[in-house]
Each structure stands twice: as structure tokens, then as C-alpha cells.
Amino acid sequence: MNTHPLSADHAPAREDGDDLLFLQPEAEESDADRFARNSEPWKVLIVDDDTMIHDATRLALAGLIFNGRPLKLFNEYSGESALRLLRHEPSIAVILLDVVMEHTNSGLEVVKRVRNDLKNRLVRIILRTGQPGYTPEQVVTAEYDINDYKEKSELTQPKLISAVTLALRGYSDLLTIQSLATSKETLELLVRDRTLDLRQLNDELEQRNVQLIAARFEADAAIRTKSVILSSISHELRTPLNAVIGYAQLLDMSTHLTPGDREAAQIIHQSGRHLLALIDNMIDLSHIEAGELELNIEPVPIRTVIDDCLTQAAVKADELELKLIDADGDGGPVVVAADHARLHQVVSNLLSNAIKYNRPHGSIRVWCSAKNGTARVSIADTGVGIAPANQAKIFNAFDRLGAEFGTIEGTGIGLIISKRLTEAMGGQIGFESVEHQGSTFWVEFKALAQATG
């Protein structure tokens, strides 16, 4: 391979002969040569009706390398044939263009059509004229979109090389700018697509939100309706139920009953009370779920609540021969912010369960403890405990966890009511339990202060 001594990349001129080059091609090939061999060449079109100009140009440019890429020369001898080639070879980088060919201004016609018809703004055009009189430089450069104007007489080899190199640099810069503009456009399109996607997603989410709000509104309305219906039904049920319970009690007091009839009267009484409790609990739960719970939060000395509940529970505990132990807590008397009646209801329910689900001759310990600004009431029993598999279901409404098959009365909603009430008052409820050994249920509230008495 021959490298021109005036290569734009200043490739060193060889002093070795071709023979040596042929014998040791690998050793002698320079980096620039290797790069040039592997790179696509710059396409340069020579348009002239004079074959000698073609030969001279080919000789002058032989071995020229720009940016590591060699040249590929195309030869055309008229304006028309040059245009035909340009139509099929849009990637021609430079045209060395004669002016006077088949017509006096064939070259200028080519310039016009390349820019206007082929819309090729990239190709660099070097106008070469042998008759500057026909085409004065000032007029041509002002009226035609060319990139250089040369008189053939001044085009020595070094001048031709530098003219072509400069033209190639201009072409290469334009390509870079064009590819940057394309990347920018692609990026902009991507961003626009993404923005559209996000906007669509946002619209969908907003729509979904509106649907959810509407569904929530409907659900709330349904819960409120259920609560209203339950309240009015409960009144209709309660009146005859109270009559049934009352007459069953009267019957039980009668001295003329056979033992069988007395037992029947007692069952009627017991069942009536169970039904009444169920109705009361359901009304309570539906009010809570409908957000109709009215709380009167005030400072409540927790000790008074425990005392009242223990007094109430004593009768039932005695009846079942269970020991009710009022164990002193380490926190002493504590005041919490709660609704007095509702806190009483919660502790009473936990105590009632500790009695109901206890074992014969078992015991129940109740105590209050205060730690880190919270007060906790604990109720521990020595009863059946809760199987590990059932522990996660303990606060489910109407789930009696198998107790419904036994003789212990219950409705299965005492604990869920206790949980809702405790949480509505800003407290927490929980338990620990070991099956067959017993359970400890607790409720916890923020302590306001230690009670003074």
C-alpha cells in the first residue's frame, strides 16, 4: 500500500521499496494504514469533461487519508451523469466540480440541482474552473451554494490535498452535528412518549381513585343502612323477648312445677337472655362499624374500673367455684384517658371470658401495671387456653373457635367489640396464651398520671 507523503494524517512517507513492502507486509503496515484498510472510505466525486484532469487529480490525491479513512474516487464526465450518480450515491462527501462541460454552466446547474432537487445539503462542493472569465468568483460564491472556488491553474498537488482535506473536515463535522440532532430528536420523542404514558397512567389512577371513593361511599352508606335497620329491628325483637324472659322467670318461681317443667322454664329463660345479649352485641358492633360510636373521653382512674368489674364478676366466679384474685400491680393507681363506660365494657368482657373459658376450680388474676407512660390491665386465667392455630382468628367476628359446640354461652363478637372500642379510645389490646394452661388478655392505654388516692 502506498501512503501519500502529504497525507492529512501526516503518515510518514516510505523510503522502502515496494519489494520490501511485499516481503514483510505485516511488519511494515502502520496503525493508520491498518485503520484505513478496515474503514469505509470517504467518497470523492471528480466531475470534469477533461480526462487529463481526472488522471492528475487521482495522482495528486492517491494515498490521502483523513481521520484514518482513505478516499474512494468516482469519475464522471458531464453534469448530467454526475447528477445520475449523486442520486444513487447520496453519501458522496466531496465533489470536485468543473464548470464548463456539455454547457458553459453545466457545473453551476449541478450545484443548483444537488441542493434544490436532491436536497443534499451535506456534500461539500469545490468548484474548479479553467475559465474564470465565464464564472467570476465573487458572483458564483454569492449566488451558488458551493463550499470552495478554485481556478484549475492554481491547483498544485499540495493545494488540492488541503482543499479536499478541509472539505472532508467540513463534511465530517456536519455528519456529527446531524447525528447529534437525530439523537436529540430520538430522545425528545422518547421523552414525549414516556410523558404521554405517564399522563395516561395518571388519568387511569385518578379514575380508579374516583371509583374507589364512590365504592367507599356506597359501602359506608350500606353500613349505615344496616345499622339503622338493625336498630329498628332490635326494638321490635327486644319487646317480645323481654316478655318471654320475664314470663320464663315467673314460671321458674312457681311452686307448682314438675322438675321437667322447671327445667324447661329455665332453658327458655337462658335462651332468651342469650338472644338478648346477641342482639345487644350486634347493635353495638354495627354502630361501631358505621362510625356512630360516641365516646366521652375523660380521665378515668383505672383502679375504679377494675374494682367495679371484679365486684360484678364475683357472683359468677363463686357460682363456678373459681378464685378471683385482685393482684397488686407494680404501677400503683393510674389514670388513663378513656370513656369510662366503654373501658368498663372491655375489662368486663375480658373478665367474663376468663371465667367462662376457665377450668373447674381454676383462678383468675387481675392487675394493673404502669410502664414507660402506659397503663396496662391484665386478666390471666388458668383455663383451656387458645390453640396456636386459632390465635390469629381470635378477633374475628362470629368465630367462636369451636366453643359453639360446647355448653359455654357466647356470641363470638365480644372480643372484636373490645378491640374496636379499645382502638377507638387510642389503646391497644392483646393476649398471650398456652393451650391447656391458660391465657392472659390485656388492654393498654397512655397513662395520664398516677391517681392520688
Decide if residue 369 touches ligand ADP (CB under 6 A): no
Decide if residue 381 touches ligand ADP (CB under 6 A): yes
Show the cell assigned to 389.
392455630
Show the site string, 325-364: x = touches ligand ADP by CB under 6 A, - = not.
----------------------------xx--x-------
d(CA 287, CA 183): 64
Q: How far is the CB of 350 from ligand ADP (least distance, A)?
A: 7
User: Helices 340-356 & 302-319, crossing angle to 10 degrees?
Assistant: 30
Residue 70 or 383 with smaller CB distance to ligand ADP:
383
Residue 265 or 343 with smaller CB distance to ligand ADP:
343
Q: Pick from 383, 421, 422, 444: which binds ligand ADP (CB under 6 A)?
A: 383
Residue 107 or 414 with smaller CB distance to ligand ADP:
414
Q: How far is the CB of 263 from ligand ADP (least distance, A)?
A: 24
Decide if residue 400 touches ligand ADP (CB under 6 A): yes
Q: Pick from 44, 46, 386, 421: which binds ligand ADP (CB under 6 A)?
A: 386
Q: Which stretch binds ligand ADP (CB under 6 A): 121-129, 173-181, 191-199, 378-386?
A: 378-386
Name the residue number minimizing CB distance to ligand ADP: 410
Decide if residue 264 touches ligand ADP (CB under 6 A): no
Question: From the CA atom positions of the chain, what is the Rg in Å?
Answer: 51
Sequence-ordered list of residues with C-beta below 8 angstroms from that of 426, at least 6 positions apart, any chain: 337, 445, 446
For ligand ADP, how many residues bind (rule: CB under 6 A)? 19
Q: Which stretch binds ligand ADP (CB under 6 A): 86-94, 128-136, 322-330, 405-413?
A: 405-413
Block residue for cell numbers 491553474: 153
Q: For the chain, give the number of residues.
A: 453
Q: Which stretch binds ligand ADP (CB under 6 A): 12-20, 160-168, 244-252, 397-405?
A: 397-405
Q: How many CB atoms lie within 10 A of CB 377?
A: 27
Q: Pick from 174, 223, 403, 448: which binds ligand ADP (CB under 6 A)?
A: 403
Show the site string, 420-439: x = touches ligand ADP by CB under 6 A, - = not.
-------------------x
Q: How far is the CB of 386 from ligand ADP (least distance, A)?
A: 5
Burial class (CB in 10 A: 0-12, 13-18, 19+), 74: middle
Block residue for cell numbers 457545473: 107
Q: Which stretch binds ligand ADP (CB under 6 A): 97-105, 254-262, 333-341, 393-401?
A: 393-401
Q: Which stretch binds ligand ADP (CB under 6 A): 78-86, 232-240, 255-263, 409-417?
A: 409-417
Decide if residue 384 touches ligand ADP (CB under 6 A): yes
Decide if residue 401 touches ligand ADP (CB under 6 A): yes
Residue 129 or 353 with smaller CB distance to ligand ADP:
353
Q: How many CB atoms lie within 10 A of CB 359?
A: 16
Decide if residue 414 touches ligand ADP (CB under 6 A): yes
Q: Residue type at 291?
A: G
Q: How far is the CB of 403 from ligand ADP (least distance, A)?
A: 4
Q: Which stretch binds ligand ADP (CB under 6 A): 40-48, 202-210, 382-390, 419-427?
A: 382-390
User: Phi first, then psi: what are they for 170, rounded to 5°?
Assistant: -60, -45
Residue 8 or 275 with smaller CB distance to ligand ADP:
275
Q: How far is the CB of 192 from ligand ADP (least distance, A)?
A: 59
Q: Which stretch binds ligand ADP (CB under 6 A): 41-49, 54-62, 306-314, 376-384?
A: 376-384
Give the binding site for ligand ADP (CB under 6 A). Answer: 353-354, 357, 381, 383-386, 394, 400-401, 403, 410-415, 439
